[in-house]
Structure 1
Amino acid sequence: MAAVVLRGDEELLTGRWWGLVVLAAASVGCGTGDSLEQVGGSTMGSTWSVKYVRHAGGADPARVRGEVEAILGEVDQQLSTYRSDSAIERFNALPADSCQAMPAAVLELVRIGEQLSTQSEGSYDLTVEPLLDLWGFGPQGREEKIPDAAAVVEVMQRVGHQHLRIDGERLCKDAAVEVDFNSIAAGYAVDIIAARLQGMGIDNYLVEATGELKARGKKPDGSAWRIALEEPRDDQQVAERIIDVDGYGVSTSGDYRHYFLQDGRRYSHTFDARSGRPVLHDLASVTVIHPSALMADGLSTLLLILGPERARDYAQKHDIAAFFVLRADTGFVTRSSQAFAQLVGEKN
């Protein structure tokens, strides 16, 4: 995780690939005996960190690190598409008309994925991994390039949540689909870590995993956890908006870090499952604030897939706190949903 000094004792801490930065002063309590502790490490090909307020006699950093690493290890074993022995990759390797007993977490995420797919009329889908591989973005991708139309049609036979079925504790499929949880796994992990911290008596914390965040309470000096929404640029980091967060997960999805250019067009790793192709529109990034980091993670991806107009309508219909950054001839323009404006105190 990179860090550069912003001002005073604050640092700019970046997550996985885009969107969110944490403004965290190294503060201590004013005579309270509280201290701001921090632990971190590697996960999911990126990093994780936990900042928390430790009261006298509270959990020490070594214990917190151990608890977080155990959670992340279990999530990796269940949900990773980058290890052949994970629960989901063993399922993905099965042929059509197969079933496999799965952990409760996998079944929960499949249900959430089905909900988001239905609400987006099939644009968002957890089974796009074969498409990611075909275009060169997935774990089995070989080269980032535009595939021929026949190849896309063939792969689309193995895409769609309708091919999945939950039977008790088993996940079943009637086609050779492959499930990819990358759009919600980090948010899910953040929620689990946050719940574990609270179970340890830690009520003031900021959790980050691969760029997905959740914050609760205050820092030792009584100031808020502050999150900067990053302008979607691939050449440098520029803070677009700074917000205080307490009791919410925050997730940003964007198209500006993982893409390739061909014939002057940008092809990102964000796919519309209905077309089998990367999205091509002017919506560069979406930030969602939600009580659940899991839902913030999934919804930011869903809204990015939908594009400017459909995303605005979806956020309005479902009362989602969303912040949109769009490309324009003069640079970037921003829009906020009504729920976002109310949450962060924007003036109309």
Structure 2
Amino acid sequence: MVLAGVLSGCGSGDSLERFDGPTMGSHYSIQYVRHTAGPDPKTVQAEVENILAEVDRQFSTYRSDSDIERFNASPANSCQPMPGPVLELIRVGEQLSAQSDGSFDLTVEPLLNLWGFGPQSRAEKVPTAEALTLVRQRVGHGHLRIDDDRLCKDAAVEVDFNSIAAGYAVDRIAARLQALGIDSYLAEATGELKAVGRKPDGSAWRIALEEPRDDRQVAERVIEVNGYGVSTSGDYRRYFEQDGVRYSHAFDARTGAPVLHNLASVTVIHPSALMADGLSTLLLILGPERGWDYAQKQGIGVFFVLRDGNRFVSRTNDAFERISGGKTQ
């Protein structure tokens, strides 16, 4: 889900620090400009990995001891104390759900499992109408309620933060790097990223956006980023086909089914990596017309890639071109 990679473009005299590693079932990478009096690189890496470990403990749906999985395992009409970040992201999810008329929803995990895309799924297949009706009774942000420091539910809903947790982690990392006196960096986790400042040679951080192909990674567009988070959501990595129909992991919670439009991917540029992450998913769900209109109305910088028969066509708005410095490829 997101970006093909980062183009370093380093010239003579560069003094970039780099480190990376596994996280959230995927990968993270950090590049930053180290000042002479700056912290030791091992200290920086330890700080970053502490944040990622905390995010995993709180939000992972792939470990039974995470805060959110303990909540997911609890019955209807129950409450559990939750750390502040979990409640914060529940509120973000509520905002995105309201703005999409319920199409975006954090409680789609039972649907993901039913269709074969979730952590508890058995096989990728179109479910029966009866099974879908049953599961949809356990989906809907309206079943959640925050009571002081507790998260409550009136149905057996299960929360999945995969559409916003990585962006949140990137914002946390960016804030920590700034607190450590690091003012030029590119922080990336599972493809969500934020770039601030410039490299030692004065050049911009350049990001390669991936063309939505199933067979290999191809750079569709290269952009320059400074002070923004970037996120791409697409339907081309996780999908299955049945009876000639392509079903992806992008779900419309109102229908309980994957979206079937021709919007293949959406890239969002936003000051917050968290909001870029959530909005790229929201716009992918809304589709090429509703999503475009929403982005235009809200002034969100977007890059759409649409299927047109056997080829792809791209579309960007003025906000995207302004923020990314125009076309660089």
TM-score (norm: length of structure 1) = 0.92
1:131 pairs with 2:111: yes
- 1:346 Cα offset (Å): 3.9
- Report the equivalent of 1:24: 8
- 1:28 Cα offset (Å): 5.3
1:155 pairs with 2:139: no
- 1:337 Cα offset (Å): 2.3
- For 1:243, give the aligned amino acid: I
- 1:345 Cα offset (Å): 4.1
- 1:330 Cα offset (Å): 4.8
- Report the equivalent of 1:246: 226
Measured on the aligned residues, the alpha-carbon RMSD in Å equals 1.2
Q: For residues 339 and 197 of structure 1, do their structure 2 counterparts lie closer, same or farther at Cα, with a shift above 3 Å needed?
A: same
Judge conservation of contact 1:316–1:338 (CA < 8 Å) in 2: no
Q: Distance in 2 between matches of 1:255 and 1:159?
A: 21
- 1:239 Cα offset (Å): 1.1
- Aligned-pair identity in percent equals 72
- Report the equivalent of 1:56: 36
1:108 pairs with one of 82, 88, 100? 88
- For 1:72, give the aligned amino acid: L
Q: Distance in 2 between matches of 1:58 and 1:27?
A: 22
- For 1:139, give the aligned amino acid: P
Judge conservation of contact 1:19–1:254 (CA < 8 Å) in 2: no
Q: Distance in 2 between matches of 1:60 and 1:104?
A: 30
Q: For residues 62 and 163 of structure 1, do their structure 2 counterparts lie closer, same or farther at Cα, with a shift above 3 Å needed?
A: same
TM-score (norm: length of structure 2) = 0.97
Please list every run of 5 or more consecutive structure 1 residues that lacks an aligned counterpart in the other structure: 1-16
| CA deviation map 1:141-188 (0-9, x unaligned) | 010111101101100000000000011111100000000000000000
- 1:264 Cα offset (Å): 1.5
1:260 pairs with 2:244: no
Q: Distance in 1 between matches of 2:3 and 2:21?
A: 20
- Report the equivalent of 1:314: 294
Judge conservation of contact 1:325–1:335 (CA < 8 Å) in 2: yes
- Report the equivalent of 1:237: 217
Q: Where do 1:55-74 residues align within 5 Å? A: 55-74=35-54
Q: Distance in 2 between matches of 1:266 and 1:289?
A: 28
Q: Which has the higher contact order (CA 8 A, sep 6+)?
A: 2
Q: Any runs of at least 4 consecutive aligned residues in structure 1 with deviations exceeding 4 A, and if so which?
A: none
Q: Distance in 2 between matches of 1:18 and 1:194?
A: 19
Please list every run of 5 or more consecutive structure 2 residues that lacks an aligned counterpart in the other structure: none
- 1:327 Cα offset (Å): 0.2
Q: For residues 255 and 301 of structure 1, do their structure 2 counterparts lie closer, same or farther at Cα, with a shift above 3 Å needed?
A: same
Judge conservation of contact 1:49–1:209 (CA < 8 Å) in 2: yes
Q: Where do 1:255-294 residues align within 5 Å? A: 255-294=235-274
